């Protein structure tokens, strides 16, 4: 059976020693009283919930899956899910970073993100139920009317109700401009919504008394394409004026998808047959409101793979220390045993360190991004808010695509450590591989994220935001450029930062001549950008570790951090050279291939 230990020490290191979040929060009136002790205490309890309540349901939930009663359209999640959710609500966890005006605890986003990392390690399928609710809260908090906020937010914040986002239709996924669901205005200002949605995560269940669906649909006079999409809030049960639940709304689950992974989450086919809803935001501008939820979800999906990478690594490491196979090539290491543990073999260490490096780099990037989100929402200086928001926009597709791709690499590597046992269900490793696989697909495939990064976030403003990130790199390089101990971390970072400017200009120029050049280079480009971000963060982490050791610390944590950083720069970071070369190979070898693809 798998095990899970919340990585509290590494979270604390990144938050308090690398980013000094307590000092950052003192500059934000909303979080000025949030100190390190409070954060640590909250996350310690969060880790207990993840490890003791959610984690034991992971394998059983995967085995049992969800059950649909076709007569009533009701869905029953796996055994124990409902009870675990009740404990989650009782503990106040849904409210952690929500607005106190609606019953939230008002803690920083960065704390919430660490909570969700641990929940995703413990049980991604279960975590998707409250995770989607938080996204629905964000969208309504940003774009809902006063009446909608009064009706829905308190219940979403408390966790009494859960939320979904209903975008995808059978004939369209990413291209939402093709959606056909219709919304007909009613005399009372509401709308009757009719259509079909698929792939709706947490779309139906009995864990909460109501489900708040956010649905994209078209008004009768809506223009074609994405400019004609409106957003509506459609509850499973209608809500009376006094806040009590009314009659059942005709929005039903008609089927559950049979999936590769995340079996414990109800991925629903949803039919709306004149379901009553109210508009969120302005007519035909639903995507702007929905993107609040989608961007939150993209950071969340990156967090899902981070969680799976961490738990897969922990179990692979424990197995590698215990499993005896052959002798070390450099001589017997365990003389009292009939064979050496497999952790002595170089390639096993490579697989383990790959997962460890991608987990620690991903954690640093997630915390960096959510700290930026806290600044974007709460910092009193408008310039700081604006620049933080720009950097989050730049980094969001990297978080989603780079961390989930790394999760695929890492969970597969960790399964490989187990050899044949990794392919057997009882060890839990194959489930991590299966569960992670969807993360590269939903909330915009990783190719879509790559196009968003290169086409919109970088070339869309002539690299202005990329240059701002470059200034952070340049500042670190200038600070540590003469420090010989930092050379192995700073020099590769400085070199890639310089190359990135030239690389971007070259792709941009070619794209002006032929847009397919951007499409051909985008995936490789995002991976290079991901390594640029990881290299910056690993350099900062190494900087702190070296200072602590120089001050006399004998904590092995800092030695381990330096060793992981060295591995990252030596074995993972160098793929950037290959990626830039393949990106520069252009589109012709992809598009001039009619004979090959006949």
**Residues noted as catalytic:** 443
Spatial distance between the Cα atoms of 235 and 237, rounded to a whole number of angstroms: 5
Closest CA to 405 of 507, 301, 503: 301
Classify the C-alpha dihedral 308-313-314-315 as positive or negative: positive
What does the chain come to in residues? Answer: 598
Q: What is the dihedral of CA 463, 468, 472, 473, to 10 degrees?
A: 10
Cα angle, residue 235 at apex, residues 234 and 241 outer, rounded to 5°: 105
Element (H, E) at 362: helix 346-378
Spatial distance between the Cα atoms of 440 and 397, rounded to a whole number of angstroms: 11
Classify the C-alpha dihedral 220-224-230-234 as positive or negative: positive
The alpha-carbon radius of gyration of the chain (Å, integer) is: 24
Q: Which residues contact 467 (CB under 8 A, 6 or more apart)?
A: none
Token readout for 350 is: 């490579």
Pairing of strands 182-185, 191-201: antiparallel
Are 510 and 504 within 8 A, CB to CB? no
Are 298 and 453 within 8 A, CB to CB? no
Residue ranges of alpha helices (H) inside 159-243 are: none
Pairing of strands 251-256, 267-280: antiparallel
Token readout for 464 is: 């202005």
Give, as one character, the DSSP assignment of residue 50. Answer: I
Cα angle, residue 339 at apex, residues 337 and 341 outer, rounded to 5°: 95
| 263-to-7, 67, 81, 117, 256 alpha-carbon distances in Å | 26, 10, 12, 19, 10
The torsion angles phi and psi of 279, rounded to 5 degrees, stand at: -75, 140
Are 98 and 90 within 8 A, CB to CB? no
Enumerate the β-bridge partners of residue 196.
271
- Assign 3-class secondary structure to 417-431: HCHHHHHCHHHCHHH
């Amino acid at each position: 059976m798998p095990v899970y230990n919340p990585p509290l020490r590494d979270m604390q290191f990144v938050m308090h020693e690398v980013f000094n979040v307590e000092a950052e929060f003192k500059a934000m009136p909303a979080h000025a009283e949030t100190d390190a002790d409070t954060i640590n205490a909250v996350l310690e309890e969060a880790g207990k919930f993840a490890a003791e309540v959610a984690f034991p349901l992971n394998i059983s939930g995967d085995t049992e899956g969800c059950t649909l009663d076709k007569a009533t359209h009701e869905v029953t999640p796996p055994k124990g899910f409902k009870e675990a959710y009740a404990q989650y609500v009782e503990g106040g966890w849904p409210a952690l970073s929500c607005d106190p005006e609606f019953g939230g605890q008002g803690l920083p986003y960065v704390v919430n993100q660490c909570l969700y990392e641990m929940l995703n390690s413990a049980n991604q399928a279960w975590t998707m139920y409250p995770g989607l609710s938080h996204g629905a809260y964000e969208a309504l908090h940003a774009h809902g009317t006063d009446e909608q906020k009064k009706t829905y937010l308190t219940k979403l914040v408390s966790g009494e109700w859960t939320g979904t986002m209903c975008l995808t239709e059978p004939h369209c996924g990413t291209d939402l401009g093709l959606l056909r669901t219709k919304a007909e205005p009613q005399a009372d200002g509401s709308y009757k919504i009719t259509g079909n949605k698929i792939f709706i995560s947490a779309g139906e269940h009995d864990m909460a008394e109501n489900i708040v669906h956010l649905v994209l649909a078209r008004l009768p006079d809506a223009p074609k394409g994405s400019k004609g999409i409106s957003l509506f809030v459609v509850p499973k049960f209608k809500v009376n004026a006094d806040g009590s639940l009314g009659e059942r709304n005709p929005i039903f689950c008609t089927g559950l998808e049979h999936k590769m992974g995340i079996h414990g989450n109800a991925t629903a086919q949803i039919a709306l047959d004149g379901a009553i809803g109210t508009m969120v935001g302005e007519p035909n501008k639903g995507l702007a409101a929905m993107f609040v939820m989608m961007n939150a979800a993209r950071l969340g999906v990156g967090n899902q793979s981070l969680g799976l990478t961490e738990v897969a690594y922990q179990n692979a490491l424990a197995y590698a220390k215990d499993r005896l196979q052959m002798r070390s090539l450099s001589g017997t290491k365990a003389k009292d045993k009939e064979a050496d543990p497999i952790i002595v073999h170089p390639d096993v260490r490579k697989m383990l360190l790959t997962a460890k490096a991608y987990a620690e780099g991903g954690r640093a990037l997630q915390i960096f991004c959510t700290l930026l989100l806290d600044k974007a929402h709460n910092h009193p200086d408008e310039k700081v808010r604006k620049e933080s928001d720009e950097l989050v926009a730049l980094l969001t597709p990297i978080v989603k695509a780079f961390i989930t791709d790394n999760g695929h690499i890492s969970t597969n590597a960790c399964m490989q450590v187990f050899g044949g046992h990794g392919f057997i269900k009882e060890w839990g490793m194959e489930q991590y591989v299966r569960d992670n696989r969807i993360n590269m697909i939903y909330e915009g495939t990783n190719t879509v994220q790559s196009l968003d990064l290169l086409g919109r976030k970088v070339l869309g403003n002539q690299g202005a935001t990329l240059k701002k990130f470059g200034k952070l790199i340049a500042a670190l390089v200038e600070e540590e450029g003469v420090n010989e101990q930092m050379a192995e971390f700073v020099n590769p970072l400085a070199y890639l930062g310089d190359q990135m400017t030239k690389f971007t200009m070259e792709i941009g120029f070619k794209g002006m001549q032929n847009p397919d050049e951007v499409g051909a280079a985008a995936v490789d480009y995002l991976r290079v950008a991901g390594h640029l971000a990881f290299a910056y963060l690993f350099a900062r982490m190494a900087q702190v570790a070296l200072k602590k050791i120089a001050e006399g610390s004998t904590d092995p944590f800092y030695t381990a951090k330096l060793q992981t950083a060295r591995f990252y720069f030596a074995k993972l970071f160098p793929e950037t050279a290959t990626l830039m070369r393949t990106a520069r190979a252009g589109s012709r070898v992809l598009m001039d291939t009619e004979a090959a693809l006949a």
